[in-house]
Amino acid sequence: MKYVLVTGGVVSGLGKGVTASSIGVLLKACGLRVTAIKIDPYLNTDAGTMSPFEHGEVFVLDDGGEVDLVLGNYERFLDVKLTCDNSITTGKIYQFVIDKERRGDYLGKTVQVMPHMTDAIQEWIERAAMIPVDGEEGPPDVCVIELGGTIGTTIFSRHNDSGILHAGDIESMPFIEALGQFSYRVGPDNFCVVHVSLVPVLNEVGEQKTKPTQHSVWGLRGLGLAPDILACQSTKALDENIKEKLSRFCHVPVADIITLNDVTNIWHIPLLLGEQKAHETIIKLLNLQGIAKELALEEWTSRARSYDTLHDPVRIVMVGKYTGQSDSYLSVLEALLHASIACYKKLVVDWVRPSDLEDSAAIETPDLFRGAWKRLKGADGILVPGGFGDRGVEGKILAAKYARENNVPFLGICLGMQVAVIEFARSILNLQDANSTEFDPDTTNPCIVFMPEGSKTHKGATMHLGSRRTFFEVPDCISAKLYGNVSFIDERHRHRYEVNPEMVAELEKAGLSFVGKDETKRRMEIVEFHAHPYFIGVQFHPEFKSRPGKPSALFLGLIGAACGQLDTLLQNPSHCSNPTKRHIFSNSFSPVKSNRNTNLKKPVKSLPDRNLYSNGNGVHVELTMVSDE
């Protein structure tokens, strides 16, 4: 097994995740089998209980693992299915070590960070690296490891202005020590280090400054890890004299100093690394020349460049609780992007804070109220994503009502499906107090109820999680057609509440159709309103399995309906994504061309191009943001 460690220095948010993913893309394009591991030094066991405002979205894996959003980048870039073991946290390691101590596995030894915790980290890495994630048998060839946190910063003494080298985040120390030991144990032919750092440009003089990277590398070397490749984030390509300076002080050959300059979309990052021969350096360092093939990035290149040529906009309004942090809906944004490219449309996302749609906002914040409704009424399509808590729920219900009554394409995900059902019960069945027991435990018409197997005392890992099977009850429904006319699908879930099965008959009699159910037929998975051109709610999260070139079927349907291409998609199921058949929608970028959007109420001007690689998390669409409370 060969290992590529990706570390970061100076500041967080430089794009370690995208860099690690892009390295994986290059190695995979050379015919190597690649897996990935993310190390998060926080004490949480997993990301499941962390706030989206603080940490971004929680990505869900097939096995139910709730992990950092970066693992979503790995899956999308590498087209693999990772496991919860591919995510390592301090909490998991401590739990692993303490469980061994309780069983007596340490035979009376005093259990310490070294060697017991560092040994556990190395053991976990070796075990996870051997898990096949690409559907093939046998272990992968290369494991890309991303170490979270920041290494090597400069702090200043309160007594004077002298710079004091600081090793970085204290919680990362056991992992850095373990990785240093690991690199020595597996040998230099099996381990290389890529250090992502910052080379800022001072606006006053326009000069690229190397000192932050120098300090970061000194800190890394002082901790026992020496970088083989420097990947330097900067607003422009590094000047040759800057590379020579970095080479001199960081002990890295000039040829192995890579520029990560700003690009128009993150799909250019693998191309950028490939142009600078990063893959050749890694293959040489890891002695993989015997099995690696010539780099083949034609499909990836076509996708990256095709995105840059799109100008005809499709405007989707996202009515979500976490509008102040786009990373909270990263997979949703990526799924929308995959679908819009397949339809030859430039994606424009307008954020609407649901509380701004509510009647109280008309009195308290009238400007926000008018702006929110203006954006909603200008939408080509409306999406209500998942979420928790009652803040903004009434606004989401109003958004679902507007979409239903005005034939605007609508997709509700998880909570988005639930608010659509609540709205229908209130408006069509005239059950004015219809609600979810999550928001009103005393409602007399509980449309949404707590799942019987859930826990009300423990939050972590107690939801309905991971890949679950949904069976189509109505074969000729829109959803089934978009999925390629299959009888069942497997999608990922993350929820505690579900549609009350006791109210299904009454809802269906009034016009809703629960076209997808689980194997018991008591858990509602997909709902459609057939009197509407495209009104779909799903209890699962289809965004987690969307891939570049293989968009999620339901997101493709939403974009298709929003720009007048839905009939074409339904008549040609081969254009649609199908999770049960790996390559129905190929990776060769085969978009659908059709007529202009019949739902547009007025021409929409495309927003100016933005550079959106800056945070490294893959949000590369045009966004209209609003402030959050």
3-class SS letters over 93-156: HHHHHHHHHHHCCCCCCCCCHHHHHHHHHHHHHHHHHCCCCCCCCCCCCEEEEEECCCEEEEEE
75, 491, 498, 543: the active-site residue: 543
Rounded to a whole number of angstroms, the distance between the first and last alpha carbons of the chain is 48
> Per DSSP, what are the bridge partners of residue 514?
527
> Per DSSP, what are the bridge partners of residue 8?
196
**Cα 436 from chain centre:** 28
30, 143, 343, 414: the active-site residue: 414
Q: What is the CA angle 584-589-591, rounded to 5?
A: 85
Single-letter residue type at 119:
D
Q: What is the CA angle 215-285-167, rounded to 5?
A: 20
Question: Whats the size of the chain, residue-wise?
Answer: 629
User: What CA–CA distance (Å, rounded) separates 541 from 295?
Assistant: 34
Residue 563 annotated among the catalytic residues of the structure: no
3-class SS letters over 467-498: EEEEEECCCCCHHHHHCCCCCEEEEEEEECEE
Residue 423 annotated among the catalytic residues of the structure: no
CB 407, CB 533: distance < 8 Å: yes
Burial letters 600-623, b for 16+ CB under 10 A, else e: beeebeeeeeeebbebbbbbbbbb
541, 563, 576, 620: the active-site residue: 541
Residue 543 annotated among the catalytic residues of the structure: yes
User: What CA–CA distance (Å, rounded) separates 121 from 179?
Assistant: 8
Token couple for 78: 């590498």
Q: Which residues are catalytic?
A: 414, 541, 543
